Amino acid sequence: MMHAAGVCVLTALRAAALTTPPPRTAPRTRLAATPRYTADSFPSDLAATDRVQQAYASAPESASLLPPELVQFGTGALLAYAIYLGPDWILAPLGWETNIRPGRAATDVLGQVIAPDSEFARERQAGFDAAAPVTVLGAAALLFLCLGFGAEAALCDALGSSTTFVGAWATCACIAGSVYEVGRPVTLNREEAMEEATLEEAFADFAERRFEQAPTAATNVIEITRAFRRSARGKASKYRSAEASVADVQIERLAKRWLRERGGVVTSSGFLKGVRLSDEPDVFR
């Protein structure tokens, strides 16, 4: 009986395996209706497009993280500082070596008007550097702030752009002008100018005694600087002491200028062609 039951089970399994399953019907995907443009889709008023463009044009101003008044004041102040520095940072890459300094020129004029009897006015008139009084600095700041705000209004109207755009350009001008100002030769005060003149006189005396013309010779500025500091004769002897605050680069600059003024050639590695040093007792030997 158990054998018969097993046969029935096997027969049923074979029948199930041979039976073809009914085909599956794929679920139908409902597609969204394709949008159609109707008469209502087109703006009935053509001026609506102008309103949209105006909304997008005013978006940067409204999206600013700072209040509009603060942005406007900052832009005017940056333009004022850029005008104070002058346009030399623009002209220098073009090969025009100028010395246009509106800030210094305006400060000198204001010093002559506000404090004509001050030490600042006298030193500046003589061509030396001097610290400006507070009143002169305040007047100069007020003058350039007025120029900066006027330039801001003029640029915004002429370019048709926002204050943020003009402020970005003013920031770039301030950064470039400040970098150029750092590399500009410093104006010396009276004491520094006298020390510079004394050094030039001492080097001229040294060059007259030690430099010899030789077509095949070449002397490096490092050797000339060492000989100048070791000199025991003439006006250069005062620079042997440690108290003489003269940098090597100053002596090297004087040596190069001395040769160039006489039509000589200075190589890129610092050799003075056609010059050699004559013998002189060395105080350090």
- Output DSSP code: residue 278: P
User: Which of 230 and 41 is assigned the larger pLDDT?
Assistant: 230
H/E element, 274 = strand 271-277
Mean residue pLDDT across the chain:
80
Per DSSP, 217 falls in state: E
Report field, pTM of the whole predicted structure over 0.85: no
What are the tens digits of pLDDT across the range 104-153?
A: 999 999 999 999 999 999 999 998 999 999 999 999 999 999 999 999 99
Distance (Å, rounded) from C-alpha 72 to C-alpha 150? 12
Overall average pLDDT of the 244-267 stretch: 88
Q: Is the pLDDT of residue 23 over 70?
A: no
Band of residue 83 on the pLDDT scale cut at 50, 70, 90: very high
Residue 25 vs residues 29, 30, 154: alpha-carbon distances, Å:
12, 15, 74
Tens-digit pLDDT profile for residues 160-175: 878 888 989 999 999 9
pLDDT at 282: 59
Helix (H) or strand (E) holding 219: strand 211-220
d(CA 223, CA 49): 77
184 band by pLDDT with thresholds 50, 70 and 90: confident
Least Cα distance to 163 among 37, 45, 255, 72 occurs for: 72
Strands 211-220 and 271-277 come out as antiparallel
pLDDT recorded at residue 40? 54
**CA distances in angstroms from 37 to 40, 45, 152, listed in the order given:** 8, 17, 46
The rounded distance, in Å, linking the Cα atoms of 207 and 231 is 11
First to last CA, the chain: 131
Is residue 214 classed as helix, strand or coil in its secondary structure? Answer: strand
Q: What is the pLDDT at residue 238? A: 79
